């Protein structure tokens, strides 16, 4: 039986940058999101229209606020937890 996921995650390459996106179950739109670094990351050595940008769940952060948000979290985000009651 396939595991029912609470989110979809994908990385696309567009105009000289890697763009990390997330879509929660039941939502129609994708949001910029990355726990592992900038959600929009220009590819080194390529010309890009994009600048490095940090997002969590579609909300943009400056670098300092992003680092603070990462340091305040404990363990994995709720949508990456294993088990049936991941949101509780």
Domain range for 66 is: 13-75
In a domain, 8, yes or no: no
| Domain count across the chain | 1
85 vs 46: CA distance, rounded Å? 43
| 6-50 tens-digit pLDDT | 899 999 999 999 999 999 999 999 999 999 999 999 999 999 889
Residue 28 falls within a domain, yes or no?
yes
Determine, yes or no, domain membership for 5. no
Is the residue at 32 inside a domain? Answer: yes
CA 3 to each of CA 6, 7, 25, 82, 84: distance values in angstroms, whole numbers, following the listed order = 10, 11, 13, 10, 10
DSSP for 6-49?
SEEEEEEEETTEEEEEEEETT--S-EE--SSS-SEEEPTTS--S
Per-residue pLDDT tens digits for 47-68: 988 999 999 999 999 999 999 9
Q: Is residue 86 situated within a structural domain?
A: no
Q: Does the pLDDT value for residue 81 go beyond 80?
A: no
């Amino acid at each position: 039986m396939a595991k029912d996921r609470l989110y979809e995650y994908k990385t696309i390459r567009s105009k000289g940058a890697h763009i990390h996106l997330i879509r929660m179950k039941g939502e129609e739109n994708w949001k910029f999101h990355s726990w592992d670094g900038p959600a929009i990351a220009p590819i080194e050595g390529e010309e890009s229209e994009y600048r490095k940008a940090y997002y969590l769940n579609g909300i943009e952060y400056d670098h300092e606020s992003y680092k603070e948000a990462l340091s305040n979290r404990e363990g994995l985000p709720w949508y990456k937890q294993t088990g049936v009651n991941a949101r509780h």
